[in-house]
Amino acid sequence: MGLLEVKGINKRFGGLQALGDVNLSIEENTTHAIIGPNGAGKSTLLNVLVGKLIPDSGSVMFDGQSVLGRKPHEINQMGISRVFQTPEIFSDLTVFENVMIPCFAKRDGAFRMHAIESIFAERGIQEQADAILDDVNMLEKKDMIASSLSRGDKRRLEMAMCLVQDPKLLLLDEPTAGMARADTQNTISLLKEIREKRGITMAIIEHDMNVVFSLAERITVLAQGTPLVEDTPDNIKGHPKVREAYLGEAQV
Amino acid sequence: MLGLEKKDFRLLLIVIGLTMLAPFILNPFPAGSEMAQFNAGYPDLMQRFVIFGIFAIGFNILFGLTGYLSFGHAAFLGAGSYGAVWMFKLLSMNVLPAIAISVIIAGLFSLLIGFISLRRSGIYFSILTLAFAQMSFALAYSVLTPITGGETGLQLALDDPRIFGASQTATGNIPVPALFGLEMRSSYELGVGSWLFTFNAGYYLAAVFMIFAFYMSIRIFRSPFGMMLRAIKSNQTRMSYTGLNARPYTLAAFVISGMYAGLAGGLMASMDPLAGAERMQWTASGEVVLMTILGGAGTLIGPVLGAGMIKYFENIFSKINETILHGWFAFLPDGLENVVVAMIYPFIGKGWHLTLGIVFMLVVIFLPGGLVQGGQKIAAAFRRKKPEDAKPNATEPAE
């Protein structure tokens, strides 16, 4: 049984069947890519996994517990972290504060009334934050306001914020969308490093086939809200159904 | 020191110094001189400075940190006032239980209103709080007259069943609020040359509370809790995808700022033991919003400055009338004098709101960070003369 088990998920938006009977199993300690043409339902699926959308039917089990009906922050506390297409960071706060917040969330849970303690006295949290910033090579930028970072740095900061929570599953929504080639390569190597060093299970939604084939160990192809095939990257490359979904029948 | 960083501790010391020496600082002009009308060092106004300072400091914890703009905070101030007056009526004329109950009542009341209002954010939150405050005002004004005194307000009477203490003094008067015998209205006057300085017991009590309130606000600003509140203002999506529940954080901030408002209301009633429904009206709620923005929302000292400035305008500017203006411009030829007076007159006296409005407009347009930002700019301009300090302090999140 996989770390994440999705069974028979259906989701309709009015007349549109966004997800139709989706089954998906993400094994522990793998990088699983979900690809598909535009409108295939990738983002809808992701939003179901993090609790932003509630499906009409089906079940989502994570680590033996149901995810459905829980709020995003509860799902995060279960061990699922998410990286967004455009980095979601605390823009008005410093880089250091940005990584301290997930440290507190990890240690204290969804809410704690620590209104009198001083941040400056939280040595353990500060060391943790320093360590993760060092890991992503951003230690020298720790006092910068996050909004002034470059796009690539924002992405790395967001990644650091997710990693410092030590998630069991990291969801990445097009982590290289809109990036320059050099930044894309950096992100790929960063993700590879995370995968090898920390052994975090990852699920990636991505358009860029270069990224997909350099990272993924399993690939699921979605088309029109339904999984077409699930296989290893090598088998997916030449799969006729995949070419059909991407290129259209006429050209086969 | 006291769990504060050096810079914050210095700021606290400055505030302590200013509030303790306020009777001197606010009375720079000799009594009886032309300029004496600009003196603000009389007890009534000084009390208002610090009490509204407390109100604004508390409001800033909610608005400055989380960005949730409440338009109904006066309701908590009013509730606190009513609570305090009832304590005077029923329990004793000692101000401490009255202040304690006002904080508790405001806390409970804000818990209720916050719990409902915080289901929405942005303009909907503002409208909800405004609606609740106006409902409270309307209730206090009419239906709840047995509790609130309705139109006339809640006052002490000669037949109050006071448990600790007499209903009347030996001379048949209503007793006055006191702190273990020290009457709030009692003052000590110190004459130095032609200057007259007034030291009022009520002012100093309120000032001590304000210093404590200010100290607590620094602690909150510098705590992990305060950081979470700023994170909520910055990005709620990331907040929830970081496993943090924004609702209890905002509710806690709302209740804390409600308790600050209650403290201000309790102190107000301690200085002058009556409470009226107009304290809950939306204009009073709007005033604290103005104070906070004028001084600098999200900064530590800004709300206090804003409160001081608005109260100074309200009490000093509004007293300048046409006769005084004619006196000032008497040196001009008659026709010109009348023209000048006619031009200035709309901005002073009863027209002080116009001046305040213009000042507010200028601050919002040119100094979005309020008076504090103005101060920082001036400080930076001075520092620029020394080349090594030329870098502006852009990374400071607050203050």
Q: Cβ contact (<8 Å) for B235 and A89?
A: yes
Would residue A48 count as lying in a domain? yes
- What pLDDT is recorded for position B386? 60
Would residue B394 count as lying in a domain? no
**Which value does ipTM take for this structure?**
0.89
Beta strands at A65-66 and A57-62: parallel, antiparallel or unpaired: antiparallel
Closest approach of chain A CAs to the CA of B7, in angstroms?
13
Would residue B120 count as lying in a domain? yes
A163-192 residues touching B, CB cutoff 8 A: 165
Would residue B72 count as lying in a domain? yes
Would residue A130 count as lying in a domain? no
Q: Which of B372, B61, B108, B106 is nearest to B232 (CA)?
A: B61
Q: Which chain A residues contact residue B2 at CB under 8 A?
A: none
Q: Cβ contact (<8 Å) for A76 and B242?
A: yes
Suggest the residue from B1, B8, B244 to mutate for an interface test with chain A (most A CBs closer than 10 A). B244
Please give the tally of structural domains in chain A.
1
Would residue A102 count as lying in a domain? no
- What pLDDT is recorded for position B233? 94
Would residue B372 count as lying in a domain? no
Which residue does chain A place closest to B237, by CA atoms? A88
Contact B71, B130 (CB under 8 A): yes
Residue-level pLDDT, tens digit, chain B, 399 residues:
777 888 999 999 999 999 999 988 888 888 877 778 888 888 899 999 999 999 999 999 999 999 999 999 999 999 999 999 999 999 988 999 999 999 999 999 999 999 999 999 899 999 999 999 999 999 999 988 888 888 888 988 888 888 888 888 888 888 888 888 888 888 888 888 888 888 999 999 999 999 999 999 999 999 999 999 999 999 999 999 999 999 999 999 999 999 999 999 999 999 999 898 889 999 999 999 999 999 999 999 999 999 999 998 888 888 887 788 888 788 888 888 888 888 888 888 778 888 888 989 999 899 988 999 999 999 998 887 665 444 444 444 444
* Beta-carbon pairs below 8 A across chains A and B: 119
- What pLDDT is recorded for position B270? 93
Angle at B254 between CA B47 and CA B66, to 5 degrees: 105
DSSP state for residue B175 in the 8-state scheme:
P
A197 has a pLDDT exceeding 50? yes
Alpha helices by DSSP H, listed for chain B, are 6-20, 22-25, 43-66, 74-90, 95-117, 122-141, 145-148, 201-221, 224-234, 236-240, 246-271, 282-295, 302-316, 322-328, 334-344, 352-366, 370-383
Please give the tally of structural domains in chain B.
1
Q: How confident is the model at residue A248 (pLDDT cuts 50, 70, 90)?
A: low
CATH number at residue B274: 1.10.3470
Q: Express each pLDDT in A125-156 by its tens digit.
A: 999 999 999 988 899 999 999 999 988 889 88
Would residue B52 count as lying in a domain? yes
- What pLDDT is recorded for position B348? 80
Closest approach of chain B CAs to the CA of A75, in angstroms?
7
Q: Which of A166, A148, A191, A157 is nearest to A78 (CA)?
A: A166
- Those residues with Cβ within 8 angstroms of residue B285's Cβ, 6 or more apart along the chain or in another chain: B70, B71, B72, B73, B74, B75, B129, B130, B133
Range of the domain at A48: 4-79+167-251
Range of the domain at B158: 6-284
Beta strands at A31-35 and A201-205: parallel, antiparallel or unpaired: parallel
Q: Cβ contact (<8 Å) for B223 and A122?
A: no
Q: Which of A3, A1, A25 is nearest to A167 (CA)?
A: A3
Cα–Cα distance measured from residue A176 to residue B293, given in angstroms and rounded to the nearest whole number: 40
Would residue B249 count as lying in a domain? yes
Q: Which chain A residues contact residue B4 at CB under 8 A?
A: 118
A46 has a pLDDT exceeding 60? yes
Which residue does chain A place closest to B228, by CA atoms? A101
Would residue B332 count as lying in a domain? no
Q: Which chain B residues contact residue A72 at CB under 8 A?
A: 240-241
Contact B291, B307 (CB under 8 A): yes
DSSP state for residue A68 in the 8-state scheme:
T
Q: Which chain B residues contact residue A122 at CB under 8 A?
A: 224
Burial class (CB in 10 A: 0-12, 13-18, 19+), B19: buried
DSSP state for residue B115 in the 8-state scheme:
H
Would residue A124 count as lying in a domain? no
- Measured in residues, chain B has a length of 399
CATH number at residue A26: 3.40.50.300
Would residue B315 count as lying in a domain? no
- CA distances to B263, B271, B316, B391 from B200, rounded to whole Å, are 19, 10, 19, 44
Q: Cβ contact (<8 Å) for B223 and A119?
A: yes
Task: Write out the two tokens for A110.
Answer: 């969804």
- What pLDDT is recorded for position A38? 81
Would residue A181 count as lying in a domain? yes
How high is the mean pLDDT of chain A?
88
Q: How confident is the model at residue A247 (pLDDT cuts 50, 70, 90)?
A: low
**Nearest CB to B242: which of A101, A120, A143?**
A101
**Nearest CB to B230: which of A93, A106, A161?**
A93
